Amino acid sequence: MRTSKKDRQEKLKETIKEMPFITDEELASKFGVSIQTIRLDRMELSIPELRERIKSVATHQWNETVKALPIDEVIGEIVDLELDERAISILDIREEHVFSRNKIARGHHLFAQANSLAVAVINDQLALTAKSEIRFTRQVLQGERVVAKASVKGHDDKGRAIVDVNSYVENELVFKGTFEMYRSND
């Protein structure tokens, strides 16, 4: 049974509020309507397209800037950052990230996203990876969006910052890493 337009639009607003990085394609599938219907609903509700929502989240949530590396050297797009606390980045897996024969993402791209996020979250002019322990938990395919979430867990006995990074496609864990980070002020 189809829901009314009004009900769908209310649920659309709630869904985007809870998951601002959801795509129009995912919304269309979720609500059983066309992508065009979702776009029209968003327009009527004055909800911006995904790219604009990402920029808006980044603009409103960043309270500090990346210190350890230039922002354009971060792999993926940082959408949230609180230095020495947490950070989030998004990487859309495109053709240049995958093996041509099977459209599976090359692991070094997922690692690079996680590692650069671990560097970016450190509140220091110089942050370098001393050691990492990583695990890939499932293959990532072309067209999927990887959301990496970094969390600073404290310091080890050598004074290195410990950063956990978990990467997800939708809500499924695809990569897990723990990074020990050198700092210039250690």
Distance CA 47, CA 43 (A): 6
pLDDT tens-digit series, residues 70-102: 666 778 888 888 889 999 999 999 999 999 999
Q: What percent of the chain has pLDDT over 70?
A: 87
Residues contacting 136, CB < 8 A, separation 6+ = 107, 110, 174, 175
pLDDT at 95: 96
Whether the CA torsion 87, 111, 71, 60 is positive or negative: it is negative
What average pLDDT does this structure show over 163-174? 96
Instruction: Give residue 5's identity as a one-letter amino acid code.
Output: K
Residue 15's H or E segment, with its range, is helix 5-18
Residue whose structure tokens are 């723990």: 178
Provide the strand spans (E) within the chain: 77-82, 86-92, 127-136, 145-155, 161-169, 172-183
Contact criterion met (CB below 8 Å) for 21 and 147 = yes
pLDDT at 66: 61
DSSP letter at 97 equals: G
* Domains in the chain: ranges and CATH: 5-56 (1.10.10.10), 62-183 (3.10.129.10)
**pLDDT classification of 40: cutoffs 50, 70, 90:** very high
pLDDT tens-digit series, residues 53-73: 766 655 444 444 566 566 667
Q: Is the pTM of this model over 0.75?
A: no
Contact criterion met (CB below 8 Å) for 92 and 109 = no
Distance CA 1, CA 13 (A): 20
Distance CA 159, CA 54 (A): 34
Give SS3 for 167: strand
3-state SS record for 67-94: CCCCHHHCCCEEEEEECCCEEEEEEECC
